[in-house]
Amino acid sequence: MEVKPVKGTHDILGADIILYQRIEDALAKTAHTYGYLEFRTPIIEHTELFSRSVGDSSDIVRKEMYTFLDKGNRSLTLRPELTAGIIRTIVNNKLYASQDFPIKASYIGPAFRYERPQAGRFRQFSQFGVEAVGLDSHLIDVEVISLGYNALKSLNFIDITLKINTLGDDESRNNYREALRAYFSEHIKDMCSDCKERLKINPLRILDCKVEEDQKIIKQAPRIQDYLTSDSKERFSKTVNLLDSLKIKFDLDENLVRGLDYYSEVVFEYHYISRDGKSFGALGAGGHYSHLVEELGGPNLAGVGLSFGIERLAQVVENEKLLFDAFPFLAFYIMPIGDVNIEKVYELNEKIHRLGYPSEMAYESKSLKALFKKAEKRSALFAILIGDEELEKEVLTIKNLRTKEQTSVALADFDNVANNIVEEELVELNEER
RNA sequence: GCGAUCGUGGUGAAGUGGUUAACACAUCUGGCUGUGAACCAGACAUUCGUGGUUUCGAUUCCCAUCGUUCGCCCCA
């Protein structure tokens, strides 16, 4: 019987990969312009890395990780996100020793979560993100938010909704958590079972419950603003003001909390609603963290980071046709005619490869009808026809597949001619678009 | 973890307790020995996700299982 791909995983084949490459290039380039270079860390890590960073109270750690014992009886986990690995490597390599802060890293690669697949959500998915560690300032918080915003712009996104909120520092958060706990304890008997569970684990998470009856209770709940320390309050208003002067639009969302336990101070999400009203949840999200580095065995350094879901971006980019120029093509498709010496044709094919033009040949001579169809399927710009006549006279018959013009070119001149006609044709194509 | 939905060729799909399993597109061959159309004639599912049950007989009913798509939860 046929072996199927694992649930929630997908193959991306041939031409479809071009969209992903375009997106990944654009994201990496934006990160680069802000001074972030890629860190590439392993896909498997010790389970403990995630229980300590993402947090035991998070859904991710409690029920969504691919965890297994290896042959040495170590508990390992396929990473459910990439931040933890980045912080671990910063600690392991003592990148903080030079005191040259912030340490900037970007990352891109697969992550795994055991969830039910649905729109924009898979069990294997890819994340792109950045982390800035060691500088505890609203400046770097804003830089990361802005980087994400511009990354989306570079993919031609318009109408991005940036939601932001602050969770405050430790003191703010502790006070607020206690206030919430006290408040919800009185009302919990009327609330949904998930909220009952959240009250025990992390009362902050009750705030983004969507059950209607619960919403009424949540509206009356204590608000984070009233529990922020003056430091946190000031930091958040500086953040907001700077975003304003950068002309980055945002919505304050007091109920925005995050499912990962390590966040404090500013948190944010990028949302996009397509023209047909479809949403894939957040395209990207991030926030500031105060204790993550210390928790993973490093010094007491703060950080800020964000991440995007590549598949979600790809789906929107494709649905909304945000990128136009991503199509594959061959410069030349070589057609052997009749019982021409196929080895000679192959030699020419090889020669064109070496000149650097994407080209392909038909490996056997067929009806011209069939050969032209193949050329069209590959979006070739030109066909090169070679039969006995051409070989004898040492010429090539080159046909422009768009205009149907056909010329005969001496084999010796091919290098020069190829360069000119390909350039010209690309210019023409771009003008047409 | 919960709820719904759907699984028939390379693709889109119709259909029925007993059929040669329609139709269309794509592909291949020939009509037409070196120029992409159209047309015509052919070819193309040892079979209807997998396993089992009922039945004289199952692609069709039933059960299970795997997978798809979508929603909840949560998340990127």
In terms of Cβ atoms closer than 10 Å to its own Cβ (0-12, 13-18, 19+), residue A80 is: buried
Of A190-194, A337-341, A342-346, the least confident? A190-194
Nearest nucleotide by C1' from A390 CA? B34
pLDDT band at A276 (very low <50, low <70, confident <90, very high): low
DSSP letter for each residue of A165-192: EE---HHHHHHHHHHHHHHHHHHGGGS-
Q: Which nucleotide has the shortest C1'-to-CA distance from A315?
A: B76
- pLDDT at position A98 is 93
Tokens of A377: 């399927």
- A100 CB-contact burial (10 Å; exposed 0-12 / middle 13-18 / buried 19+): exposed
**Minimum CA–C1' distance nucleotide for A406:** B35
Q: How far apart are CA A234 and CA A212, in angstroms?
A: 34
pLDDT given for residue A277 in this prediction: 66
Q: pLDDT tens digits, residue range A84-101? A: 999 999 999 999 999 999
In whole angstroms, what is the distance from residue A133 CA to residue A305 CA? 9
What is the predicted pLDDT for the residue at A339?
Answer: 85
* Predicted local confidence at residue A261, as pLDDT: 77
- Nearest-CA residue relative to C1' of B50: A1
Cα(A16)–Cα(A19) distance, integer angstroms: 6
What is the pTM for the complete model shown? Answer: 0.89
Q: Which of A169-183, A200-214, A215-229 has the lowest mean pLDDT?
A: A200-214
User: Could you tell me the pLDDT band of residue A273, with boundaries at 50, 70 and 90?
Assistant: confident
The HSE-up count of residue A357 (CA atoms within 13 Å, CB side) is: 29
Q: What is the pLDDT of residue A433?
A: 63
Tokens of A24: 């990944």
Q: Is the pLDDT of residue A227 over 60?
A: yes
Count Cβ atoms within 10 A of the Cβ of residue A137 and give its class: 0-12 exposed, 13-18 middle, 19 or more buried.
middle
Check residue A327 and give its pLDDT. Answer: 59
User: Integer distance in angstroms from CA A386 to C1' B34?
Assistant: 9
Query: Residue A201 has what pLDDT?
Result: 79
pLDDT at A210 over 90: no
Q: What is the CA A276 to C1' B16 distance in angstroms?
A: 39
**Protein residue closest via CA to C1' of B73:** A194
Is 60 exceeded by the pLDDT of residue A350? Answer: yes
Q: How far is the CA of A11 from the C1' of B48 (A)?
A: 25
Q: What percent of chain A has pLDDT over 70?
A: 97
Query: Which pLDDT tens digit goes with each residue over A118-171?
Result: 988 999 999 999 999 999 999 999 999 999 999 999 999 988 999 999 999 999
* All structural domains of chain A: 15-169+229-320 (3.30.930.10), 329-432 (3.40.50.800)
User: Within chain A, what is the greatest distance between any pair of CA atoms?
Assistant: 95
Exposure on the CB side of residue A322, measured as CA atoms within 13 A: 24
Write out which nucleotides of chain B lie closer than 7 A to a protein Cβ.
1-3, 26-30, 33-37, 50, 66-76
- pLDDT exceeds 90 at position A187: no
Looking across all nucleic acid strands, the nucleotide with the smallest C1' to CA distance from residue A285 is: B76
Instruction: Point out the nucleotide closest to A399 (alpha carbon to C1′).
Output: B35
Which range is least confidently modeled, A81-90, A102-111, A378-387? A378-387
Instruction: Please give the pLDDT value at position A299.
Output: 97
Distance A2 CA to B47 C1' (A): 16
Residue closest to sugar C1' of B1 by CA? A63
| pLDDT higher than 80, residue A2 | no
- Comparing CA positions, the residue from A141, A138, A133, A137 lying closest to residue A99 is A133
pLDDT above 80: residue A300: yes
Spatial contact of A303 and A132, defined as CB atoms under 8 Å apart: yes
- Give the angle subtended at the CA of A423 by the CAs of A314 and A415, to the nearest 5°: 125
pLDDT of residue A378: 85
Strand partners, A253: none
Instruction: Enter the ipTM.
Output: 0.86
pLDDT of residue A325: 60
The one-letter amino acid at A334:
I
Handedness of CA A276, A269, A201, A90 (dihedral sign): positive
Counting runs of H as helices and runs of E as strands, what totals does chain A give? Answer: 15, 16
A21 CA – B35 C1', rounded, Å: 36
- pLDDT tens figures, A60-88: 999 999 999 999 999 999 999 999 999 99
Model confidence at A1: pLDDT above 70 = no
Mode of pairing for the β-strands spanning A161-166 and A251-252: parallel
Tens digit of each residue's pLDDT (9 = 90 or more) over A16-32: 888 899 999 999 999 99
